[in-house]
Amino acid sequence: MTRAESPEPLPIGPTLHGWEPPPRPTRTPMEGRYVRLEPLDPDAHALGLYEAFALDAEGRGWTYLPYGPFADEVDFAAWMAEAAVSGDPLFYAILDAAGAPVGMASYLRITPAIGTIEVGHLHFAPPLQRTRAATEAMYLMVRHALEELGYRRYEWKCDALNEASRRAAERLGFTYEGTHRQATIYKSRNRDTAWYSILDSEWPRLRAGFEAWLVPENFDAEGAQRTPLRVERA
């Protein structure tokens, strides 16, 4: 190449015309047909959640969380008192149609400057597991993050050995991006972390699948689905 010749331009990503950092999520309830998410409140939720989680007699639901199981309700309430005032993770209690606490979830690693947010600290008590309320809770959280707040990227991460979490991520339309080896340590053991994501550009297609599945007509009198959830990935 002579001095007069210009080098080929290097490839770069598309310019984000008009994009601005979204606001941080606030302690605002989220309401659906079958479930309600409320900001975690020890006075309102500690006893109900402790009793709901205790239905998992073997404590298997705590296996892949960095805390728990707890010795008694007092220990659980003490943990919740700290979790409830955290801004990141921002915890929610999941309430069933009757208003009983049956699970919890959070937003975390909230980074408005680049438009990324993660869902995590998921713990569903036995009455919530494998129900339309559980799916709707996840739908409400991703819709709020990507559509209502304007985040660009919604993440799901889990222990690579947590097969139930990995199946859930795939069912909900997340795309697997790879596994970070020896990513962290919790409960004195290694964790390889599997990464999944949903992008804002993918959300309209995924939303259509969720909303078609969540209609009451898709469930029989016993609550069993008539048609499985089908999410259209990019």
Answer yes or no: CATH 3.40.50.300 is held by domain 30-218: no
List phi, psi (to 5°) of 194: -85, 130
Picking from 104, 151, 152, 102, the residue whose alpha carbon sits closest to that of residue 131 is 102
pTM over 0.75: yes
Task: Evaluate whether 50 touches 77 at the Cβ level (below 8 Å).
Answer: yes
pLDDT in tens, the chain (234 residues): 556 678 899 999 999 999 999 999 999 999 999 999 999 999 999 999 999 999 999 999 999 999 999 999 999 999 999 999 999 999 999 999 999 999 999 999 999 999 999 999 999 999 999 999 999 999 999 999 999 999 999 999 999 999 999 999 999 999 999 999 999 999 999 999 999 999 999 999 999 999 999 999 999 998 999 999 988 765
Domain residue limits, the chain: 30-218
Picking from 158, 162, 190, the residue whose alpha carbon sits closest to that of residue 174 is 158
List phi, psi (to 5°) of 143: -60, -45
